[in-house]
Each structure stands twice: as C-alpha cells, then as structure tokens.
Structure 1
Amino acid sequence: MTTMIQKFADLATGTRIEDLPAEAIGETARILLDSIGVAVAGIGELKGRAGIAYGKLIGGSQGDATIMGTGDKVSAFGAAFANGELINTLDMDAIMPPGHVTPYVLPGIMALGETMARDGKAVALAIAVGHEISCRIGMGMDYLRDTRDGKVDPPPVFGYAETIFGAAAAISMLRGHSAEVTANGLGIAGSVSPVNAQTAWFQHAPSSTIKYLHAGVLTQSAFTAAYAAELGHRGDIQILDDEEFGYRRFIGTRRWFADRMVADLGREWRFVDLSAFKPYPHCRILHALIDEMQDLLDRHAIAVEEIEGIKVYVEGMVEQPVWLNREILLPHDAQFSIAHGIAVGAHRVPPGRAWMDPELVFGDSVMGLMDKVTHEVHPDYVKLLTGNAASRPAKLEIRARGRTYAGERRYPKGTKSPDPASHMTNDELIAKFLNNVDGILPRGNAEAIVELVMDLPRLDDLGRVMRLTAPDAQGPAPRN
C-alpha cells in the first residue's frame, strides 16, 4: 500500500513543469512577486527587524543567500529564517487554506533557489507543489471558519503547522532528492512539526508578536527534515495514515479527510483558485468591510471629522480577544483589532507600510475614531459562508451629518470569487508590489524584479531576482 506521505513524495519528484497548467505557473509568479514586496516593506517593523537579526546570527557572514530588503548575505538557513519572518511581518502576504501558507513554504525555495542557481521553471514547480501539498492537507483538517448545524464552530486546536510538509517537499525538490529520500523527509517533517498553538494566540490580548506561527522556526524545521533525510535518516512514512497515533492525533485536529487530501493529486491544482492577495496590512476579516467603507466615504464625500459612529457586522469566528482588542501597544496590535483597523481604513491612507507608522497608529484622529466603532456578528454569516467559501460577509453603517449610510459586500478584493471585481489583476498586483518597495529599492531594480518574476519560466537564475532586493544593488544595465 502506498502511504499518503509516499503519494506526496511522488508528486514532488514526478511532476514536471510541463505537467502544470498555465494558470498554476502564473499563480506561482504572482505569489513570488507579492511576497518579495511585502517582505521588503516589513524591514522596519519589530517582527521584521528581529527576524533579520536572528537570521544573521544563525546564518553567519560567509553565505550567499540574500535577506530581502537589506543586501545582507548569510547561509540559506539564515536567509530563510529572516525572509519567512519578513514575508509575514505586515500581515499583507498571500493567503489560502488553511490560512497563511506562503511565509512557511516560500523562504526555503528562495534561499536554495539563489544559492543553487535554480532557474525559474524549477522555482515555479517547487512553489506549486509546496503550496499544493500544504493547502490540501490544511483543507482536510479543522478550519477556522467551520460551521455545524447552522452555527459557528471554530476548532479548539488550530494553526498552520501542516505547511511543514509543503515546505519540506519544496526543499527536497530543489535539492534533487529521490522519491524515497523525499518521503523520508516528509515523514521526519511530521515528527518535528511545530504545535498548533494559534487558538491560544486568539485568546490572549494584546497578542504575542510571534503571531499564529513563527515562520522562521517552521522554515528551520523544514530544512532539518529534508536535510536529515538526505543524510540518511529514515522518516515515519505512515505518520499521515495512522489516525489513532499519527499526525492527526498529536496535531489536535477533530476532522481528517484523508481521501480529499490526495484525490486527483497531480491532476487538480487546488491552490490556484484558492490563493488570495491582501490589499491591506491587516487581518483578512476586515478587508471587505474596509473596501465597502471607503466606497461609502468616497461616494458621499464624508470626511473623518464628520463621522459620528461606525457599526460593522463581522465574521462569526472573530468574537475572540485578539480581534476585540482595543489596547494598541505596538503597531503589531493594529493588524488584528477590529475597531482600530476600521479607524485606520477610514483615514484612506494608501495601504502598505504606511499603515504601521506610529504617528498614524497612535494618532489622536485614529484613536479617537476607534472609540466610535462598534460591531456585531453578521446576521447571515453562516448562510453566506456555506453558500460560497470565498465569502467574507461584510455589512456596515456609518453615522454622519445626522444620517446613516449603509453598505454591504460579500467578497473582499484579492479573492477569486463569483464577483469579477474582487479578482486582483496582474496590474493591480504589480502596483501593490511597487508601492511596497517604493523608497526602499531603486525604481529600476523594482521594475526589473517585476519583469523577471512575471516571466518566471524564462528566468535563468533566481539569484538575479534575490540580489535585486538589496537597497544598494546594482540595477540592470539601461536598455537602448
């Protein structure tokens, strides 16, 4: 009998770039470009600074892997640690089930892709397989937006630890491991998996700046698993199949749809339709609300000073301390607070690292408006969510000038939903990238990164891209 681990190993070693649909290849380029932008934008924040410092500490000074936005060269292990933390610093990174995947899967690909001079086809393939495995396993486990009998039913244990399987698989692919070695690496990955501590993080506010899962730690665990297998260690290839004692039991998930995890593996690429991009550096729960609020404010030319109150109707799973928090001690806290996020969004500051500016975050105008924000659970949340999984039901009422202005939206920008307006086009994604790196990277370098990444299959060496993420890097020669 072929185990689930072996099936995922076969996907990693048996898939060729020609096997990927064009949409999957295109999505890998979009994920890569977006991740570079949000990582560079995060270099000045606490989480980003700490990730850089520790990445340099463990990565030494003799390496040839780039920490994005700094130009620092360290080992692949140090760069992956730092870049994982940077990608997730602003909470503006790409998402897909089970939630955040990219900060855990992509950093190892970036580091090895640069140090081993892998071309764009190898990189695209590793991104696709790594995200697909992580997404499939995550979809077969408890989900944060689970419902039961028409009511919200969030799991008691939740997190993104299962992304270690996709992260380890991608590393094995770039290292050229055989199916047997890859399977051993995935088995080891399951055994060294971080715990799923995210539910505890929800319950304690102000929240830990580690967030729901420390990206740097998971990247190191994935490297450990893949390299241990390469060095001869044997992994537990039954760890996903054994529901009594295996990964399902000790990771704490109530449900386990093993058949769905491997169904049509290699023929159906689920991550393509499930990936979404975030316009705002804030938890996704507010994005549709901010979209609709800003449209209302613009449509009626309402100034912040005129707002008497804002009532928002939110997703049913957010009645937990991390989102209810109004004690904003660090810019990090602003990324999850419902009241503060709405207040910042009402100020129409272009989204990006400017949202983390302490003068904005702690400014009298934002803090004063935060006190005027109230919320309730959206009355049709479960109905709309079960009707279409892309739903993030949002409804709000703005009181100003003695009137109430109401609006409602179902799908946030950046989502592949039945509403074409919610899709983020390549041009919109590129504009987000250019805004995020503006003032940090030379414009010529930023444009060169866009050109190289968006034509990923033709890229001869990922190192060309990574080296351009240094603020003082030599840009490309001018064109005639």
Structure 2
Amino acid sequence: MTKTIVEKLADFTAATTFDRLPPGVVTECKRILLDSIGCALAGIDFQKGRAGRDFAKMMGAGTDDASIIGDAVRVSIPAAAFANAELINTMDMDAVTVPGHVAPAVLSTVMAVGEAKSSTGKEIIEAVAIGHEIGNRLGRAVDNLRDTRHGESTPPAVFGYTNPIFGAAASIARMRGQSPVTIANALGIAACISPVNSMMSWIYHAPATTIKYTLKGSLALQAVTAAFMAEYGHRGDLQVLDDAEYGYRRFIGSTKWEPQHIVNNLGVDWRFPAETSYKPYPHCRVFNALLDCVISIVENHDIQPHEIDGIKVYVEGFAEKPVWVNREIADVHDAQFSMYHGIAVAAHRLRPGKAWLEPELIHSPSVMKLMAKVTSEPHPDYVKLLTGNAASRPARVQLMARGRTFIEEKRYPKGSPSPDPDTFMTDEELIAKFTHNAQGTLSGTVIQEVVEALMGLEHVGNWRSVMKLACRQR
C-alpha cells in the first residue's frame, strides 16, 4: 500500500540520525541556533518579548522542565516553547528560509524538549535539521509572497508562516523517540490545529499589530500539543497532505499545491541550508537591501543625517503595502516595519541591533525629520531579476546631499546565499552579531562560552548546560 505524504515525512523523521547528516547541514543547524538565541537575548526587554515571558510564567509556573532564554525562571515545556518562540522573533532579526520565519517555531520547541530530556548536542542538531527541512519543503509546496506569473508579481490572497508547525512537531517527536506511526499522527494533528495564515491582513493594515504575521508562541505551543497528543494516543489525519480538495491546502488558504516539493529526494537532498538567509537588521527582509545601500552611501562619503535633502528608493513592488510604507510611528513595532523609518535610522550610522529600536532613537527629531524626506516607488526590473534568481531582492537608492545625488544598487541583501559571495554571512560575522545582541544580558565571558558551545554543539553531552549559560544574567 502506497504511503501518504504524512507517513513519508514520519519515516524521514524517524530515520534521520546525526551520522546521516551532510556536514553542511550540521554546520547550518549550529549557525541557526547561534543566531536565533542571540536574537532572543536582544529582544528580552522589548514589549513583545516581555509579553511572551510573562504569559509563559503564568502558564508554566511551578515546574522546572525548561528555561526561558535570558531569564532565571524555569517553566514547563509548553511555556518555554511559547516564550522562546516569541523572543526569537521579537526583533524580526531572526533567520529566514522558505517560506519565512521557520526558526522560532522549530528551535523553541527543540530547546524546551531537549532541556527536559537532557538531550545531547547531536540530538539537538538532528531535530533542528528535521524541523527546518520539513518547514522548507512545506513552504515550497504552497503559495509564496514572491511568486510570479507571465512576467508579473502574483502575491496570494491568503498567506502566512504557519506551516513550520509540521517541522516543529516532527522535531519534538524525533527527540521523544516516537515511532513512525506516532510521528505520522502528530503531523496529522498538527495540520488540523495549525493557526490561520493571517499575514496578508497584517500587511494591508497599519498600524501593524504586535501579533505580526502570526503569534509565534502560539505556533510553537500548537506543535507541542500535536506531538504530545499523538504520544498520548490521539489519531491524526494521515491523508491531510494528499487531499488537495479538502485537506491542508484548502483550509490553509493556498491556491497552489505542489506536493512533489515535499517528498522528492527527501532525506537525500537537503534544501534548507542553501536557502537560509540571516538578517543584519531588526527590520523586515523585504527592504534589507535598501538598508545595505543607504549605509554604504553614508559611510563611504561620510554623510551626516542633517546633510541629507532627500532619499528616493526603488524596492520590489510588493513592498509598497500599508505596513511597510507607514509613517505613523507610535511605538517600536511601527518603527520596526516602516520602510521609511528604517531607512532614516540606517542613515544615522548606528550599529544594527536593539539600539535601532530604542524609544529614544525611533522618536528622535533627527530620525523623524529624515523619515519625512524618504520616498519610494517599485523597482522597474524587480520581476525580471527575481525570475533570474530567487534570492534577488532588487534595491536602488538615490540619496541627495551636498548638491549631489549619490546612487547605490544591490540585487542581493547581505546575509543571503547568492551568486555574490560577499552577501554570505560568515561564521565570524554571525558570531559578531550574536555577541552584539547578547551584550547587556550576558557577561563577556558567558557570551564566549555560549559561542564555543553552540559552534561545537556535536561535542556537547547535555543541552541543559547550554541553556544554563544562555540564562545566566549579568
């Protein structure tokens, strides 16, 4: 009897071991963990991060299974997964792969379950690899924001980042040592309790909600629910990914369903490492290349904010949506997703990180005055360049100052794996980003210890030791 897609994913999950992972997959898992924990440490004092921690403490008080990053309090597995998913995504500085922010859901659950089970570093790597590969493959099967057709951009009517629930549930199941049958049930349950895809609502409505494109803590919590309910005896829908008419494709709102992306060469061809991008800025990836251009101009020509008469940017057409062109900056989340505000901050030449979102800066007269001088229009070659290479995020900046117009163009933003080797974020650059994000929460000595533990994770005997470091405050 032919196995369903869910059963094939379950077999892949159960069969994947550290020894079968290609070296590049192992390396990328460690890089994603390092980057994500750093992003969480940077976000602990911001509104979204605090709310996630407060809710977790209320939900999981009285148990000591797992840790909240950067916090001395220990909570239950579901509570830790919720809080850490929110923390990783608070700064919107975490890594992206297809379809987008996979890491918060996968890593938060892996860290919580791994801590409760005292998993080895190799077991953590296995789970991270499984979760990201399944997340990437599900993302390929459904609609994408950057799909094109007949030379035109064709964004979907419904979109979101909720399908990482499959990878997160599979990761938990693998760490719990579940059988292929139980894993399949967990995945079938995950499909049916997945949060809605609400990203398009978020994009078209300003000011932006702090839920963003989905509540990442809720997504992680639902993955924990699916994996444990299967273990406790619940049965999932094993046909949910095969039935395009009434299954997952229909109720998740996707008009596209290409399931071959899920199963082709599964376990042989690992796709997520080549499609993982790291973000230098606490801003939406859609305009990161613009920030690269602005910073290059002001640094190369030593231009001060008060000298700038205007900034004209050309961005991919899809970025011209209310959430990204909003100029009403009430709080940090408005600043975080306003393309115009982000460009104004970039021109002030501060090192990217949590300082970019501090209230004193985002509401400063200098930033607000410069934001008013930023204008935009769609890049004329966006679709052509995107069709040529999926990593493309075409950007062009014209900055007017000193009676001159300074021009900078980029096709690929920093942090992306692309044909341009300069855009790849090296281990050294990721370590520097982590160090900068962790400063103020962890001491210098502890920061170094965390880096060494994560970059050599396959040699760590107990994941608890790493989390203990990540929660050791100054």
Same fold (TM over 0.5): yes
Please show how residues 341-356 of structure 1 align to structure 2 within 5 Å.
341-356=342-357
Contact 1:162 1:193 in 2 (8 A): yes
What secondary structure does 1:96 align onto?
Answer: coil
Contact 2:40 2:87 in 1 (8 A): yes
Q: Quick one: percent identity of the two aligned structures?
A: 53
Q: State the 1:92 CA deviation.
A: 0.2
Match of 2:6 in 1: 5
Structure 1 residue 399 corresponds to structure 2 residue 427: no
Cα 1:44–1:472, aligned 2, differ >3 Å: closer, same or farther? Answer: closer
Q: State the 1:161 CA deviation.
A: 1.2
Match of 1:338 in 2: 339
Contact 1:12 1:173 in 2 (8 A): yes
Match of 1:140 in 2: 141
Question: Which AA in structure 2 matches 1:29?
Answer: K
Q: State the 1:450 CA deviation.
A: 0.4
Deviations 1:409-462 (A, max 9, x none): 011111110000000000000000000011110111110010010011111111
Deviations 1:74-109 (A, max 9, x none): 111111100000000000001011011101111010
Match of 1:238 in 2: 239
Structure 1 residue 202 corresponds to structure 2 residue 197: no
C-alpha distance in 1 between matches for 2:10 and 2:57: 32
Match of 1:358 in 2: 359
Contact 1:91 1:282 in 2 (8 A): yes
Deviations 1:219-277 (A, max 9, x none): 11111111111011111000000011000011110111111221100001100100111
Q: State the 1:170 CA deviation.
A: 0.3
Q: State the 1:62 CA deviation.
A: 2.5
Contact 1:276 1:415 in 2 (8 A): yes
Deviations 1:189-208 (A, max 9, x none): 01111110110111110010
C-alpha distance in 2 between matches for 1:146 and 1:422: 23
Contact 2:287 2:319 in 1 (8 A): no
Question: Which AA in structure 2 matches 1:2?
Answer: K
Deviations 1:269-312 (A, max 9, x none): 10010011100000012211111211111222211111000000
Question: Which AA in structure 1 matches 2:66?
Answer: A
C-alpha distance in 2 between matches for 1:71 and 1:230: 30
C-alpha distance in 1 between matches for 2:230 and 2:57: 26
C-alpha distance in 2 between matches for 1:446 and 1:323: 34
C-alpha distance in 2 between matches for 1:187 and 1:144: 25
C-alpha distance in 1 between matches for 2:46 and 2:423: 29
C-alpha distance in 1 between matches for 2:408 and 2:33: 34
Question: Which AA in structure 1 matches 2:51?
Answer: A
Match of 1:34 in 2: 35
**Uncovered stretches (5+) of structure 1, i.e. residues with no partner:** 474-480
Match of 1:367 in 2: 368
Please show how residues 153-232 of structure 1 align to structure 2 within 5 Å.
153-232=154-233
Structure 1 residue 418 corresponds to structure 2 residue 409: no
TM-score, normalised to structure 1, is: 0.98
Deviations 1:155-201 (A, max 9, x none): 00000111110010001011110000000000000111111011011
Q: State the 1:64 CA deviation.
A: 3.0
C-alpha distance in 2 between matches for 1:295 and 1:338: 17
Q: State the 1:471 CA deviation.
A: 3.6
Match of 2:327 in 1: 326
C-alpha distance in 1 between matches for 2:336 and 2:155: 21
C-alpha distance in 1 between matches for 2:206 and 2:270: 37
Match of 2:23 in 1: 22
What secondary structure does 1:374 align onto?
Answer: strand
C-alpha distance in 1 between matches for 2:95 and 2:150: 31
Q: State the 1:209 CA deviation.
A: 0.3
Match of 1:307 in 2: 308
Structure 1 residue 107 corresponds to structure 2 residue 108: yes
Question: Which AA in structure 1 matches 2:156?
Answer: P
Contact 1:71 1:469 in 2 (8 A): no
Contact 1:164 1:221 in 2 (8 A): yes
Match of 1:478 in 2: none
Contact 1:27 1:272 in 2 (8 A): yes
Match of 2:279 in 1: 278
C-alpha distance in 1 between matches for 2:217 and 2:103: 12
C-alpha distance in 2 between matches for 1:61 and 1:348: 45
Question: Which AA in structure 2 matches 1:165?
Answer: F
Q: State the 1:472 CA deviation.
A: 3.4
Contact 1:80 1:107 in 2 (8 A): yes
What secondary structure does 1:322 align onto?
Answer: coil
What secondary structure does 1:281 align onto?
Answer: coil
Question: Which AA in structure 2 matches 1:228?
Answer: M
What secondary structure does 1:324 align onto?
Answer: coil
C-alpha distance in 2 between matches for 1:339 and 1:38: 23
C-alpha distance in 2 between matches for 1:84 and 1:469: 15
What secondary structure does 2:470 align onto?
Answer: coil
Question: Which AA in structure 2 matches 1:71?
Answer: A
Match of 1:72 in 2: 73
Contact 2:70 2:473 in 1 (8 A): no
The count of corresponding residues between Structure 1 and Structure 2 is 473
Q: State the 1:367 CA deviation.
A: 0.3
C-alpha distance in 1 between matches for 2:306 and 2:326: 24
Q: State the 1:145 CA deviation.
A: 0.6
C-alpha distance in 2 between matches for 1:62 and 1:251: 35
Worse overlay, 85-94 or 438-447: 438-447
Deviations 1:336-388 (A, max 9, x none): 11110100111111111111110100000000000000000000000011100
Contact 1:185 1:226 in 2 (8 A): yes
Q: State the 1:61 CA deviation.
A: 2.9
